[in-house]
Amino acid sequence: MKHKKRKIGVFTIFLAVGVVVVAAALMLRGVFRSFPSADEVLEGYMSCILEKDYDRMYQYLDDTSRRIISREDFISRNQNIYEGIGTTGLQVTISGAESEENEVAYSVSMETEAGTVTFNNHARFTKEKDGYYLQWDDSLIFPDLLSTDRVRVEELKAQRGTIYDRNGLVLAGQGTVSSVGLIPGKMSEEPSEDIRRLAGLLDTTEEGIQEALQQSWVKEDTFVPVRKIKKSGVENALLGEAGAPGSQLEQELLAIPGVMITDTEDRVYPLGEKAGLLVGYVQAVTAEDLEANPDKGYTSQSRIGKAGLEKLYEDRLHGTDGCRIYIEDQNGEEKENLAYREKQDGEDITVTIDYQLQNDLYDAFAQDKSCHVAMNPKTGEVLALVSTPSYDSSSFVLGMSENQWNALNDNPDQPMYNRFKASFAPGSSFKPVIAAIGLSTGKLDPDADLGKSGTSWQKDDSWGSYMVTTMHEYPEPSNLKNALIYSDNIYFAKAALQIGGDVLAEQFDRIGFQEEVPFVFGTTPSQYVNEGGSLSDDILLADTGYGQGEVLVNPIHMAAVYSAFVNGGSMIRPVLEYPETGAPEYWIRDAFTAEAAETVRSSLIQVIESENGTGHGARVEGVVLAAKTGTAEIKDSKEDTGGTELGWLAVFTADPARENGLLLVSMAEDVKDRGGSNYLIGQEKELLAAWTK
């Protein structure tokens, strides 16, 4: 048998300009007397794949092939396979010779969802008067593909990384939830009342349940999922709410004919609302997410971190799904593997948070609007970040009803508001900052008596009726230590005036005011004046001295400032992951002088130890603690006699040599008529005893 020698050709098919296309008109029978060669016909046929022009592909088939497969079946078969495997690139190399039987050998390299598929193949042609036509069968798609075979695409789901606390306890990870559904064949003959009861128990709609039952794939014995509920030990709290015990809820659900409860896997958040604003949640990706992350392996079925740690660490937690493409025969047996892309699970992340401390702090203030930052002042490891009230992250994952969403958004206590990221008026908890600045700059003598002024004072008559007031008179000298023990507003108003507005502004800027804390959570910057303002006004300057005026401080920033009192004047950098070096990092070295830090530290110990100290109620036997309380007035104007109050408590283990110390900064809203800052002491007394010994 003789063969005509052929020049080997290579062509690459793209969707862009330059696609090698043989126009369909060339294939219309009888139009031209000269016609393309067999390999050019093959090029034209293959070019249709990426253009998804399966109708034009059919025109390349010979008469025999057209009698075997209809246009509709041909289009369906090719479209389902090529689009199903996600064909995005195609290179065809003509590698053989045209024989008397009109056969062309070629090789294919095809880009798919599972990677590159390559194979060698051959195409046979029928030569008719007006040109070459393909003798088509399924092997032209893949060499070993039969008409009875199926091409399967198996998605290999990557596991999202788990978030662990410092002790290896799960804060967010894969776990078991309950799926509540219906088996149609076991439902009542008149199920409308049962559906109404089920909708009520699951806080969903009757219409939604009906739509689920009417899906095309549903059969009499099919389990039709209706809603997932949280599974937690002996309880199944509905969607994260404190509901009936699991046994009772299950009994009510299972009493409805056709209801079935099965276990399934999903993202779980063991601490629930106690870490909601810390850990955050994941949700299904949106079109905007896909557009913003085009090359990160997301699909329409992916989930993405939307808040908290889930969002902050998304790039590391998010895995990349794998994919496998294979041929399955008519018996359901795998016949040939075509392509495989290995999945890449997300990274597990261990944070410095202590699960139990996070739990205990939330429980202590669950009924309040509050925030709390617990930190090791020597290492910067953040041990707890609490904001109350909060939400249960599981609600977003398992599905939130309209009622639940409205309840969250309409709640006046704002459970979606992350208070530990915000800034608030610090009140007297700010006085140690003023003291440290005054001592470091030499503007304040700790032993100097700034004079007795009773419980109200003003600089001079230029202040009109405005007076600085304080709660207590005391017999001891009005020096720094006593002013901190008794929380003397008048002393610190005088101290601020003595230091001066320019010096204070310069030092505030040095210790991180007007900028975000260098921390994984973005925070509202602390401020000492409103935008565009200054400390040139004496009344504003005096009020700044005791944490009023226009001062707003973020609690994480406050914790970093207080850390300087056990670090020789340097402010630790807060961290949520252990530093790679293992050594603590300082945010601002020498924020205060070592002498100033020591003077403030020793004075704050007396706030606890002295019976007259405002923090004496927080004293723990056998532990040296230092603290400062604070009550900030929130009112519309200086003349406002109403308004509300914020309570603060900043307390820390005062031994500079202690490596496992605790620094806790807490703020609670609406403490007026509840004891002011003493309310926080009462709530934290037992917790401090347990966590500082």
The CATH number assigned to the domain holding 335 equals: 3.90.1310.10
The beta-carbon contacts of 83-86 under 8 Å, at least 24 apart in sequence, are 83/52, 84/151, 84/153, 85/112, 85/113, 85/114, 85/117, 85/151, 85/153, 85/325, 85/338, 85/339, 86/112, 86/113, 86/153
What's the CATH code of the domain at 133? 3.10.450.100
Q: How confident is the model at residue 6 (pLDDT cuts 50, 70, 90)?
A: very low
Looking at the fold, whether 661 and 626 belong to one and the same domain comes out as yes
pLDDT at 499: 98
Looking at the fold, whether 118 and 173 belong to one and the same domain comes out as no
Give how many domains the chain has, as a whole number: 3
Q: Which residue has the higher pLDDT, 409 or 12?
A: 409
Looking at the fold, whether 526 and 663 belong to one and the same domain comes out as yes
Looking at the fold, whether 448 and 384 belong to one and the same domain comes out as yes
Looking at the fold, whether 366 and 455 belong to one and the same domain comes out as yes
In a domain, 596, yes or no: yes
pLDDT at 117 over 50: yes
Q: Determine the structural domain holding residue 333 and report its residue range.
A: 163-349
What's the CATH code of the domain at 614? 3.40.710.10
pLDDT at 71 over 60: yes
Q: Is 120 in contact with 143 (CB distance < 8 Å)? A: yes
In a domain, 269, yes or no: yes
pLDDT at 101: 59
306-332 pLDDT per residue, tens:
999 999 999 999 998 899 999 999 999
Mean predicted confidence (pLDDT) in 664-689: 96
In a domain, 412, yes or no: no
- The reported pTM is 0.84
**The domain boundary residue, chosen from 96, 115, 147:** 147
Looking at the fold, whether 219 and 107 belong to one and the same domain comes out as no
In a domain, 2, yes or no: no
For residue 284, list its beta bridge partners: 303
Mean predicted confidence (pLDDT) in 188-216: 92
Q: Is 95 in contact with 119 (CB distance < 8 Å)? A: no
Looking at the fold, whether 363 and 344 belong to one and the same domain comes out as no
Looking at the fold, whether 362 and 336 belong to one and the same domain comes out as no
Q: Which is catalytic among the residues 47, 370, 428, 570? A: 428
pLDDT at 128: 87
In a domain, 182, yes or no: yes
pLDDT at 402: 86
Looking at the fold, whether 377 and 315 belong to one and the same domain comes out as no
Looking at the fold, whether 478 and 618 belong to one and the same domain comes out as yes
**The domain boundary residue, chosen from 147, 174, 200:** 147
pLDDT at 638: 63
CB neighbourhood size of 475 (10 A): 6
Q: How confident is the model at residue 342 (pLDDT cuts 50, 70, 90)?
A: very high
**The domain boundary residue, chosen from 349, 368, 396:** 349
Looking at the fold, whether 326 and 380 belong to one and the same domain comes out as no
pLDDT at 475 over 80: yes
Residue 666 among the catalytic residues: no
537-590 pLDDT per residue, tens:
999 999 999 999 999 999 999 999 999 999 999 999 999 998 766 788 999 999
Looking at the fold, whether 212 and 331 belong to one and the same domain comes out as yes
* Sequence letter at residue 439: L
Q: How confident is the model at residue 132 (pLDDT cuts 50, 70, 90)?
A: very high
Q: State residue 357 phi and psi, 5-degree precision.
A: -65, -40
432-474 pLDDT per residue, tens:
999 999 999 999 999 999 999 999 999 999 999 999 999 989 9
373-421 pLDDT per residue, tens:
999 999 999 999 999 999 999 999 988 888 889 999 999 999 999 999 9
pLDDT at 246: 55
